[in-house]
Amino acid sequence: MRIDPLHLVDVFVYLVILNLTAQFVPSVISESFAVSLATAIMLKLVLEVVLRVKKAVVARLRAASTTARRLTSVVMLVLILPGSKFVVLWLEDALFGDAVSLGGFWPVTLLVLTLTAARAGVRRAVAPGRSTT
């Protein structure tokens, strides 16, 4: 199994953003570099799944031929976006316990938005012809 270099770049970007967040946001705590690295990998995995699910739901929304299907897809999107933050918080607590604290819902939301924006920016700089998803 070969790992795409862009996935490694994503993990490094997430690691930098996570450690900067831990430095400047008092509610975000990571006890060590190793724990930060493991958290960055966990965030990468969760965000990849969320992006794929979101992409599938958006495709379903665009292909919907009935109002009921469109409404169902919109409801799914509305549930996926905040629900993914709760998944991140739950996994962080289950995997790392007190070694990591990502704050709460709003700090995690801002962290995920920052991670996604940084990922897109770095991918545009490193591999401009490749997809950012």
Reported as a single tens digit per residue, the pLDDT across 82-107 is 899 999 999 999 999 999 999 888 99
Q: Is the predicted pLDDT of residue 133 greater than 60, yes or no?
A: no
The reply to whether 133 falls in a domain is: no
Q: Which long-range contacts (CB under 8 A, 24 or more apart) does 33-41 make?
A: 35/96, 35/99, 35/100, 36/100, 37/11, 38/95, 38/96, 39/92, 39/96, 39/100, 39/102, 40/11, 40/12, 40/14, 40/15, 41/11
Residue 129 clears pLDDT 90, i.e. is over it: no
Note whether residue 131 is domain-resident.
no
Q: Quick check: 131 pLDDT over 80? A: no
In a domain, 132, yes or no: no
Q: What is the pTM of this model?
A: 0.85
Share of the chain above pLDDT 70, in %: 97
Q: How many domains does the chain have?
A: 1
